[in-house]
Amino acid sequence: MAKTIAFANLKGGTGKTTICINIAGCLTLINRTSRVLVVDFDPQANATSGLGIDENSLENSIYDVVLNQFQEYQGVPITQAIVETQIENIHLVPSELNLAAASILMQQCKDKVGILNRILTPIKSYYDYILIDVPSDTGLFMLNSLRATDEAVIPIDSSVFSIEALEKFQIYCQDIQEMTGHKINRFTVVLNRYIKSRTGASQSKKSSKNSISEEIEEGVKRMSYPLFKIPESLLVYRSQQEGMPISHISSTNQIVKNYMEIANYLSEVN
């Protein structure tokens, strides 16, 4: 059965989509036979464009798959929405803006938190990993994503609100467990766009100051989460333009090594 991993945070702008796509790429390098499915469960559809798929050319998307859960609407099973990407063994369930309207229908469902889990169950035996790109809100898209996942990767950035958002996310997941009985097995924090302090040769240790990234890093360590760091890199923007994971553009770059470290950790049986 596929290991299902949600990339989520209550705070926006932390690089969830970028990290999701690049972890997908690295997982296919760790094991060339691994089959990875990225589920774009965000109406902004950034994971869709980030993997080189034009949402305007789609026949079906996750929106149509959600509609299929309601008898009065004509949708499609998830197998008809899966598309191949430029990367061998990375498939995608694409998204589109219409998905935002699906939340109105989801509100009417008896088990409205378990919709995505029901959608994914029939294909879990086909894939080794299912990665869910989750929007930054506390609504049904995030609730469904966390209900459907085995573990969560929580990207954070170097801002004063990161630790606060991380604490709130932990409470949010506890609420989901109390409400549904579903427990997320593992949480992994990724500090994105990490900037290390630059201490000049003439500066003493006393006069040097930690960067904001390093201060956030210390805060996360006190919370006892597994923590990985991704440095700022122009290669990220190049990969977004080309619609491919960084690992398949420049495999020797340091940032790829950072991503590979995370992917290796996530591939371990927990």
pLDDT in tens, 4-30: 999 999 999 999 999 999 999 999 999
* pLDDT value at 135 more than 90: yes
Coil/strand/helix, residue 61: coil
**Tell me, what's the pLDDT at 165?**
92
Q: Can you say whether the dihedral through the CA atoms of 21, 116, 152, 2 is positive or negative?
A: negative
**Tell me, what's the pLDDT at 204?**
47
- Residues 39, 25: Cα–Cα separation, whole Å: 14
**Tell me, what's the pLDDT at 71?**
87
List Cβ neighbours of 82 (8 Å cut-off, separation of 6 or more). 37, 91, 92, 93, 123
Confidence of residue 270 (pLDDT cuts 50, 70, 90): low
* pLDDT value at 203 more than 70: no
Q: Which of 74-83, 85-94, 188-197 has the lowest mean pLDDT?
A: 188-197
Q: With the CA atoms of 210, 213, 218 and 220 taken in that order, what torsion angle do they form, in degrees rounded to the nearest 10? A: 170
- Residues 237, 175: Cα–Cα separation, whole Å: 36
- Mean pLDDT along residues 133-138: 92
Hey, what are 81's tokens?
Answer: 């929405």
pTM attached to this predicted model: 0.94
Which CATH number fits the domain that encloses residue 128? Answer: 3.40.50.300
**Tell me, what's the pLDDT at 15?**
94
- Residues 251, 258: Cα–Cα separation, whole Å: 11
Q: pLDDT higher for 193 or 138?
A: 193
* pLDDT value at 228 more than 90: yes
Looking at the structure of the chain, the number of domains it has is: 1
- Residues 57, 36: Cα–Cα separation, whole Å: 22
Which percentage of the chain shows pLDDT scores above 70?
Answer: 95
* pLDDT value at 207 more than 60: no
Mean pLDDT of the chain: 92
- Mean pLDDT along residues 94-122: 95
**Tell me, what's the pLDDT at 251?**
77
Taking a C-beta distance cutoff of 8 angstroms, is the pair 24, 131 a contact? Answer: yes
- Mean pLDDT along residues 55-77: 94
Q: Which of 84-98, 104-118, 142-156, 206-220 has the lowest mean pLDDT?
A: 206-220
- Mean pLDDT along residues 181-210: 75
Question: What's the chain look like in SS3?
Answer: CCEEEEECCCCCCCCHHHHHHHHHHHHHHHCCCCCEEEEECCCCCHHHHHCCCCHHHCCCCHHHHHHCCCCCCCCCCHHHCCEECCCCCEEEECCCCCHHHHHHHHCCCCCCCCHHHHHHHHHCCCCCEEEEECCCCCCHHHHHHHHCCCEEEEEECCCCCHHHHHHHHHHHHHHHHHHHCCCCCEEEEEEEEECCCCCCCCCCCCCCCCCHHHHHHHHHHHCCCCEEEEECCHHHHHHHHHCCCHHHCCCCCHHHHHHHHHHHHHHCCC
**Tell me, what's the pLDDT at 172?**
94
Domain housing 171:
3-267
- H or E element, residue 36: strand 36-40
* pLDDT value at 211 more than 90: no
